[in-house]
A and B are shown apart, each in its own frame.
Chain A
Amino acid sequence: MTTPASTPPASPSPSPPWALLAELTHGCPLHCPYCSNPLELVRRSRELSAEEWGDVLRQAADLGVVHTHLSGGEPLLRPDLAAIVAAADSAGIYIQLVTSGVGLSAPRLSALVSAGLRSVQLSVQHADPASSDRIAGKRSFAAKEHAAALVRDAGLPLGLNVVLHRDNLDAVDAVVDLGVAWGADRIELANTQFYGWALRNRTALLPTRDQLSRARDAVERRREQLAGTTELVWVVPDYFDGVPKPCMGGWGAVSLTVAPDGGVLPCPAAGGLPDLDVPNVRDRPLEWIWNSSPAFNRYRGTEWMSEPCRGCPRRETDFGGCRCQAHALTGEAARTDPACALSPDHALLRAVAETPRSGTAPYVYRGPGPGTARSPRTV
């Protein structure tokens, strides 16, 4: 253990967490260039067993967790997924599956529903099948369409997740049409957040301001049109708005992420921060990790902040933005997120956002071996 940079506050105890993101595996048939998994992917042999996951989920329920997203990688790669679902359900946790759709069959879904699965979020990369396959680095669109139909047939709520970037923002109308046609109750249109794989692919993924403003108008229009039927969620592009996102609703405030090897993080990207001393459920109770670990207390509340955050009226609204982005762009995780117009580092991000760009650039597809830049896959 390294010495923590700041002493955790003795009291009062933090509010209980509402949600747990369970990254059951980093294995995935897709290779999306903006993947939220870390650059250093956890090997399959280091993954928690279903029994260990059951224990984590029971501890989480005791701590106050109400929701879990079973995610990955691709959670369907776990043959013991139904056992994990059953453990979460018997702990009283509401279970949502986050999947690429690849590997979902009627019998598989039926087993998961019997075990207690409540809802499914399906990722889609583009409304056009060939473009979706190209972005995913894998022929997968047909499997997604099939998965959506299975989820609807099973009577489960269906959400569509679409990460937006330069190569699909112009198709946002078509993406909404696709979601409606597939029977989605909710379509999450999430502008790419640039750290990890997405930061590595920033040149290829960063949109233009014009693209964003057209897409935003389209979403507003469609939201009015679809009111009461399909919910449209727009996750803001923080490079362009001058306002940082209230990342995770605050560090260690609302939710936690458990990585495939049992590492516990305040957000999926936080493993990329240096010297965080990531606590692990294999060594410590989840209660200690949430309430007392140096990692979860490091950026909790407002005490850690420096100016301009410290005296800012928005400090309890956006919590100084994203620690991972501050670290990625300035080298210091405790600085104000450069996405904020008040940040002394904001020019760093403006310069990137305003750089003229056109055409397409090759992707570095997600895969094992973070150092390897690979040429675009053919699919």
Chain B
Amino acid sequence: MTGWRPALERSVVLRHDRVRRTYLLVLPERVVVLEGRAADVLRLCDGQRSVDEIVDVLAARFPGAPVTVEVPRFLDRVRQEGWLR
């Protein structure tokens, strides 16, 4: 995963849903409701930041949270779904 600078696939939109008060990933024929801090992580996936940089930003924002282990694992899972490149 070294060197990977994650970004959302072109067909995937990350947005807030003001009616349901949640964040969503919207794709062709599918809507994914984002739980917990998933949107905070995905919003940092801009194709510029590396995974380490994303972890650093989140570690500073959420002190004490297990971001070093969980964030790379989460990003990998989202990539396997085909939503990150």
User: What is A's interface to B at a CB cutoff of 8 Å?
Assistant: 16, 18, 62-64, 66-67, 92, 94, 96, 118-119, 155-157, 159, 185-186
- Shortest Cβ distance from A156 into B: residue: B11
- Distance to closest chain A CB from B47 (angstroms): 15
Task: List 15 additional contacts besides A96-B28, A118-B28; criterion CB under 8 Å.
Answer: A16-B19, A62-B19, A64-B19, A66-B17, A66-B24, A66-B26, A66-B31, A67-B29, A67-B31, A92-B15, A96-B29, A155-B10, A157-B28, A159-B29, A185-B28
Count CB-based A-B contacts (< 8 Å). 35
Q: Contact mask B46-84 → A, CB, 8 Å, 1/0?
A: 000000000000000000000000000000000000000
Asked if B28 and A119 make an inter-chain contact with CB atoms under 8 angstroms apart, the answer reads yes
Contact of B28 among A62, A63, A159 (CB under 8 A): A159
Alpha-carbon distance A157/B21, docked complex (angstroms)? 28
Bound-state Cα–Cα, A92 to B13, Å: 10
Residue of B nearest to A63 (CB): B19
- Is B20 interfacial (CB-CB < 8 Å)? yes
* Interface positions of B (Cβ within 8 A of A): 10-11, 13, 15, 17, 19-20, 24, 26-29, 31
Which B residue's beta carbon lies closest to that of A188?
B29
- Report which residue of A94, A96, A155 has the largest number of chain B beta carbons within 10 angstroms of its beta carbon: A94
For A185, the chain B residues whose CB sits under 8 A away are: 28
> Would A118 and B13 count as touching, CB distance under 8 A?
yes
Contacts A94-B13, A118-B11 given: A64-B28 contact, CB under 8 Å?
no
User: For B11, B15, B20, B24, which residue has the most chain A Cβ atoms within 10 angstroms?
Assistant: B11
- Check A119 against B11 for contact (C-beta < 8 Å): yes
Partner of B20, one of A16, A119, A157, A159: A16
Nearest 7 CB-CB pairings of A with B: A64-B19, A119-B28, A94-B26, A157-B11, A157-B28, A16-B19, A66-B31
Q: How far is the CA of A96 from the CA of B17 in the complex (A)?
A: 19
Report chain A residues within 8 Å CB of B13.
94, 118
A-B contact pairs, 27 of them (CB 8 A): A16-B19, A16-B20, A18-B31, A62-B19, A63-B19, A64-B17, A64-B19, A64-B20, A66-B17, A66-B24, A66-B31, A67-B31, A94-B13, A94-B26, A118-B13, A118-B28, A119-B11, A119-B28, A155-B10, A156-B11, A157-B11, A157-B27, A157-B28, A159-B29, A185-B28, A186-B28, A186-B29
Residues of B within 8 A of A155 (CB): 10
Chain B: minimal CB distance from A138 (Å): 26
**Least distance between B77 CB and chain A CB atoms (Å):** 14
The smallest beta-carbon distance between A21 and chain B, in angstroms, is: 13
Rounded to whole angstroms, the CA-CA distance of A157 and B10 in the bound complex is: 9
Q: Is the CB of B26 within 8 A of A67?
A: yes
Closest-CB distance, A120 to chain B (whole angstroms): 9
Q: Using CB atoms, name the residue of chain B closest to A69.
A: B29
Closest A residue to B31 by beta carbon equals: A66
How many Å from the CB of B17 to the closest CB on chain A?
7
CB distance from B12 to the nearest CB of A (A): 9
User: CA–CA, A63 to B17, complex, Å?
Assistant: 11
Q: Which residues of A contact B15 (CB under 8 A)?
A: 92
Residue of B nearest to A119 (CB): B28
Contacting residues, chain B, for A66 (C-beta < 8 A)? 17, 24, 26, 31
State the CA gap A118–B31 with chains docked (Å): 14
- Residue of B whose beta carbon sits closest to that of A62: B19
CB distance from A232 to the nearest CB of B (A): 13
Q: For residue B20, which residues in chain A have a CB less than 8 angstroms away from its CB?
A: 16, 64
Expressed in whole angstroms, the Cα–Cα distance for A262 and B19 within the complex equals 24
Q: Which residues of B contact A186 (CB under 8 A)?
A: 28-29
Q: A65: nearest residue on chain B (CB-CB)?
A: B19
A62–B20 CA distance with the chains assembled, in angstroms: 11
A119 cross-chain contacts in B, Cβ below 8 A: 11, 28
**Chain A residues whose CB sits within 8 angstroms of the CB of B11 once the complex forms:** 118-119, 156-157
